[in-house]
Chain A
Amino acid sequence: MGDDYPTLFRSEQMSLMQFLIPTEVAHDTVAELGELGNVQFKDLNPAVNPFQRSFVGEIRRTEEMARRVRFFESQIQKDKDVVPIRPLYDSAPLVTVGPSAAHNIDGLDVTLAGHETRLGQMNDSYKTLSERTRELVEARHVLRETAVFFEKAETQQTDIRTSFDDSSAPLLQHDDREQQYLSSVQFDLEFVAGTIDRTRISTFERVLWRVLRGNLYMNHTDITEPFVDPATGTETRKNVFIIFAHGDALLAKIRKVAESMGATLYPIDANADKRSDSLREVTARLEDLETVLYNTGLNRRSELLRIGENLARWQDVVRKEKAIYETMNLFNYDVRRKTLVAEGWVPTRDFAMIHMALRHATEESGTSVVPILQELHTSKTPPTFTRTNKFSEGFQTIMDAYGIATYQEVNPGLFAIVTFPFLFAVMFGDIGHGLIIFFAALYMIIQEKKWARQELNEIVGQFFYGRYIILLMGMFSVFTGLMYNDIFSKSLHIWHSGWDFPEPASNGVSYAVSNGHMYPFGVDPAWHGADNGLVFTNSYKMKMSIVLGVIHMTFALCLQLPNHIKFKRPLDIYANFIPQMIFLQSIFGYLVVCILYKWSIDWSTRDTQPPSLLNMLIAMILSPGNVDATAQLYRGQGFIQVVLLLLAVVCVPWMLCMKPYFQWKEMQMIQGQGYVGLGHRNGGPRESTDEVLENEEEGNGRAIVEEMEEEHEQHDFSEVVIHQIIHTIEFCLGCISHTASYLRLWALSLAHAQLSEVLWSMTIEKFLGLSGIFGTIALVMVVVFWFSATVFILCLMEGLSAFLHALRLHWVEANSKHYQGEGYLFMPLSFAKLDEKE
């Protein structure tokens, strides 16, 4: 395997690079590296408080700009009519590197501040004007309703008037005098008018009644239209009330009660003419306000439209600037040489690319000092970087979800490209359903470019992310559908069937006779619809699950080998890999061989009965060596089984003891050399200490940082033993439980086939025989129902279920055989990824 090209087999080789960047070029260099997206910078100031770092001022400024941009975004979203935001790829570029960069950023700052103040002012005035409008509308209502009250009040003057007289005096006696008092009476009865919330009106009435001891006359009506609060959109319903009472003290009390209950009072004149004047005035002012409001709205909208043109670009610039300054905060400032020192993980392969990027950055900025790049040697574990493209990204992600691969260990994602869709398909096998999901994935892939730019719904986005996985799942499902001979629960009759059905016997049951043909590709269609079809299919699928499962586990186990070879752990090969392989094969490999052997024998020509393999396996373990002669699979079976069992039993202590023993011997050796090595070891650091001292004089703080992070690898022997015990038990028990776990391949494919059959027989089958117009219409409707149930229940629901189970098989059964998964992900400074993060 050539080292020229990156592969998915292992993660990339990474090296720790040190950058010496002159301060003038720093911003542009980091911008260039961010565009490249290949460097993961280390934090060289871990002990420094974030508020004390060097570039806090710039970050604060960008934060302020970001806040303004967010404010604009929220304003645009709140606007009822859609304000178009020009997408990023269509926006005018803003140059942020090079000599004009600082000027541009300053300009941007000023522009943003200007927009913000203008928008803020417009929002404030809009709010104030809306409130004034509301008050005026209320006043208008009050004026209108009180007119009605006054008319009513005049007719009831007589009743009110008599209450002030002696109760004994007859009504009619003062009739002639009443007309005189009419005008004066009106001024005696003063009133308070206003509006109050409808919910409070009854409380208001009761309180007033109690406070004034009934010396009041109150009337109220509903205002039919509710008032909508522009800020929150809530509606409130109000009533107009008018209270007639006599005397200043009472009126004062009424006013106080009204204010405490949250009513708004309006000055209403008793004179009808003055009231109509007020009404006209109010109406005029309302019209003015409406015009002003309308204009303000228009201005605001035009401002928002202007903002919308550039918003995407501003967001992008602000985000990038913030990322650049945050990264620059991770650097170490070398006072002597006036440079910034940065350390970062870089894929070794990309060294030349980074060099070019640095050179390009210096050219852009116009200075002539190129940043220096040197490689550092370190014992720290590099991050895991797997170079994926849009096809392998999905598969890598689902395997990474279990755990990130240790640096440079074999990547299960590579094999999952085929094994995952294959195991899915074994559980999903149906040509029709496979075609449905295949075409769905194909559609998504064809629309790739368009959909990638849009902001997709979360669920649709998930499906889109896995479109290549779904494509392969569909393809393999068509294959397994051909194998199971199942298309929408019917079977295809492509070749000659191997069975002939004679005339049914007297009890209606007919037994098929084999005619010597072999259906060459898949399950014979004669089994479809047969009464004992399930018996055959179950046996077939169960055994297939075991065969596939053992082979998958063996494959996963073999993936340990490249890891042991690469990391130079020969002990692991002899102490872990070999006993594990022998254990697995001697019991379950043997089972698979027996399955295949039993199938390959023509039992009609043998004297012995075909034995039940399950019982055979159980008997092998429980009573080894005793094989019933009438139920044996082959001659010499008893002896061979004993040998295999012994092999398996021997493997257990082998796994338990060999590795701890050798590691113990190694530790003894090291400790024995330890007293010699102490002086030896001191020689090493002493040399570097000189270097450190020398470098310290020049202000290079690099080596100090490295020494402080020396890793002490003192293995406690008990830890090793415990680890190995756990590992052994996990493997041995796991072998059995995982093999059984593969039976889910059978279970899910059975469920799928049955569901599909039930759906067909319960819907379309019942409607096929109908004739006539009614029959045809009903058939069409049922077909539509059948198809939607197929897509939603069988494809989506069963598909998700099979996806999950196939994933579990990969994560638990396969990965536990070889995967360490202790790495950490390579997270470079990448402007492209910043976009994804949001």
Chain B
Amino acid sequence: MASIIPVIFILVIVLGLMACGYLFVPKGLHQTTIRTAIMLTLASCYLMWMVTYMAQLHPLISES
């Protein structure tokens, strides 16, 4: 059944991954770059997935 739970579930997972990315990237020349890249990628991919998912949750029209 289509519900909003997966959205929140995946959100929690993504936030967890972002935290991991922040904490576990080794200190070094590229730490900022790698951290930023990982976090931004996770955030933007999640956003796009969330929008796509929610747009189809309770569709107002059906195909013909």
Contact = CB atoms under 8 A, between A and B. Distances in A.
9 contacts: A389-B30, A414-B32, A419-B44, A511-B64, A523-B52, A523-B56, A527-B63, A531-B64, A551-B47
B7 to A, nearest CB: 8
B23 interface: no
A742 B31 CA distance: 31
Interface in B1-55: 1-2, 4, 6, 27-33, 36-37, 40-41, 44-45, 47-49, 51-55
B59 A5 contact: no
A540 B56 CA distance: 9
Interface stretch (A333-341, A513-521, A637-645, A760-768): A513-521
Contacts of A548: 44, 47-48, 51
B33 A426 contact: no
A514 B27 contact: no
Given A7-B33, A415-B40, A512 B27 contact: no
B53 to A, nearest CB: 7
Interface string A367-396: 000000000000000000000010010000
A544 B51 contact: yes
A4 B28 CA distance: 9
A414 B44 contact: no
B32 A600 contact: no
A513 B63 CA distance: 8
Interface in A252-296: none
Closest 10 A-B residue pairs measured CB to CB?
A: A530-B63, A418-B40, A7-B32, A599-B54, A518-B2, A540-B55, A512-B63, A602-B58, A544-B51, A422-B44
B54 to A, nearest CB: 4
B24 to A, nearest CB: 16
Given A8-B32, A418-B40, A418-B41, A544 B64 contact: no
A511 B37 contact: no
A9 interface: yes
Contacts of A498: 2, 56
Contacts of B61: 532, 535-536
Interface in A460-487: 479-480, 483
B29 A516 contact: no
B57 A600 contact: yes
Contacts of A414: 32-33, 36
A389 B32 CA distance: 13
A524 interface: yes
A308 interface: no
Interface of A: 1-2, 4-9, 389, 392, 414-415, 417-419, 422, 426, 479-480, 483, 498-499, 501, 509-514, 516-524, 526-527, 530-533, 535-536, 539-540, 543-544, 547-548, 551, 596, 599-604, 610
A210 B51 CA distance: 95
A526 B48 contact: no
Contacts of A535: 61
A426 B56 contact: no
Chain B interface size range: 20 to 34
A543 B55 contact: yes
Given A415-B40, A510-B64, A600 B47 contact: no
B40 A601 contact: no
B64 A521 contact: no
A419 B41 CA distance: 8
A480 B30 CA distance: 27
Given A514-B62, A610-B60, A5 B28 contact: yes
A516 B2 CA distance: 6
B1 A418 contact: no
Contacts of A522: 52
Contacts of B41: 418, 422
A6 B31 CA distance: 9
B54 A596 contact: yes
A768 B41 CA distance: 40
A769 to B, nearest CB: 25
A519 B56 contact: yes
Contacts of B2: 498, 516-518
A530 B4 CA distance: 26
Nearest to B42: A418
A524 B56 contact: yes
A745 to B, nearest CB: 11
B14 to A, nearest CB: 14
A600 B51 CA distance: 10
B55 A511 contact: no
A418 B60 contact: no
Contact of A518 (B56, B63, B64): B56
Contacts of A480: 48
Nearest to A414: B36
Among B4, B33, B57, find the residue whose CB has the most chain A CB atoms closer than 10 A.
B33
A571 B40 CA distance: 30
B62 A499 contact: yes
Nearest to A545: B51
A499 B63 CA distance: 8
Given A596-B54, A602-B58, A417 B63 contact: no
Given A419-B44, A483-B48, A499-B62, A5 B55 contact: no
Nearest to A519: B56
A479 B64 contact: no
A193 B28 CA distance: 88
Given A1-B32, A518-B53, A599-B58, A533 B40 contact: no
A521 B62 contact: no
A600 B4 CA distance: 7
A527 B6 CA distance: 22
Given A498-B2, A520-B53, 14 more contacts: A7-B32, A8-B33, A417-B37, A422-B44, A498-B56, A501-B63, A518-B56, A532-B64, A547-B51, A548-B47, A600-B57, A602-B57, A602-B58, A604-B58
Nearest to B48: A483
Among B4, B33, B52, B62, find the residue whose CB has the most chain A CB atoms closer than 10 A.
B52
Contacts of A513: 62
A540 B50 CA distance: 12
Contacts of A426: 48
B64 A392 contact: no
Given A498-B2, A511-B64, A548-B48, A5 B27 contact: yes
